[in-house]
Structure 1
Amino acid sequence: MVDAVNRVVGLFAMYLIFAMMGVLLYSSVMKAVAIPPLWTLEMAQFLMVGYYMLGGGWSLQNDAHVRMDLVYAQWSPRRRAAIDSVTILFLIFYLGMLLYGGISSTGYALRYGEQSYSAWAPYMAPIKIIMCIGIVFMILQAVAQLIRDVAAARGRELS
């Protein structure tokens, strides 16, 4: 179920890059024709945050993240799974700390109506909520991957 949710969310997030390109194209055209709008750069940044935070679980699911491959490729699949099952615990810990800070920051943004310090001054709560959702999806995918890695290290492949 975690894989299915991350697949759908990841495919949705993939299209956010096109929305970001549209916002930046609009900004460029308006800069050449008239006064550029104040909101375009910050909106592009928000779309990019949504793109990589919501796509994180999908990239973890598809093994599309960066990995140091000095000796990893030479190991047997069981040894790789055993090492991965240990290193993913560090990822889960990191994501847990990130989620803890994200929830705290989101609560602050909701409680006090936090706004950006730019001229556009959008509310920060929506993007912080999206960040927390993305972190939760990554944690769920990491736990699913941990279960698969432990099974593979024990010689029992899970699909």
Structure 2
Amino acid sequence: MSSAKPLRLPAVLQGYVRLVERLNYRVGRVAMYLLLVLIGILLYSSFSKVFMQPALWTMEMAQFTMVAYFFLGGPYAMQMGSNVRMDLFYASWTPRTRAWVDAVTVLFLMFYLGVVLYGGIGSLSYAIEYGETNPTAWRPYTWPIKSLMCIALVLMILQASAEFLKDISRIREETE
């Protein structure tokens, strides 16, 4: 969950990184179980199509569950270093160069996530204000999944900022 080496940051920033990582670790571990929920929904869908009247809600509920799994698992994946990197040059760089590149690229990521969050909040407020539903036979409200997506984007921004601070710590460590 936390890095092996102590961070070379002020205590308040170390506390922030630990708090964010603890939160995202727990959310990510809970999100893992959404895969089992997804499997259950899809099994019920198959069963109901064969032995009963097909359920109207299963495909959309499976989609909502997959979105929740994907979005809530993102910060956890970043924390665990499971994100994809183009290793063509990265592997041959020094730890300090990697930290510099990671620090710069995470700033672009935070900007992108901020823009997506801004749009997500606008979409969420529209969904709440007008009682938006999906145009299907089941017609579920969209605000619950849009709320979850906005929360997950905030968690991702927090994790990205914690990664930025850890990169700064690595840079400082290499210069001292």
Aligned residue for 2:25? 7
Instruction: Give a deviation string over 1:4-46, Cα, whole Å, max 9, x none.
Output: 0000100111100100100000000111112210100000000
Q: Percent identity?
A: 53
Measured on the aligned residues, the alpha-carbon RMSD in Å equals 1.2
Q: CA deviation at 1:155?
A: 2.0
Aligned residue for 2:62? 44
Choose which of 140, 144, 155 in structure 1 pairs with 2:158. 140
CA contact (8 A) 2:133 2:142 kept: yes
Confirm whether residue 17 of structure 1 aligns to residue 45 of structure 2.
Answer: no
Distance 1:61 1:93 in 2: 18
Confirm whether residue 68 of structure 1 aligns to residue 86 of structure 2.
Answer: yes
Distance 2:26 2:161 in 1: 18
Aligned residue for 2:105? 87
CA contact (8 A) 2:96 2:174 kept: no
TM-score (norm 1): 0.96
Aligned residue for 1:56? 74
Distance 1:45 1:112 in 2: 22
Query: Larger deviation: 147-156 or 109-118?
Result: 147-156
Q: CA deviation at 1:55?
A: 1.0
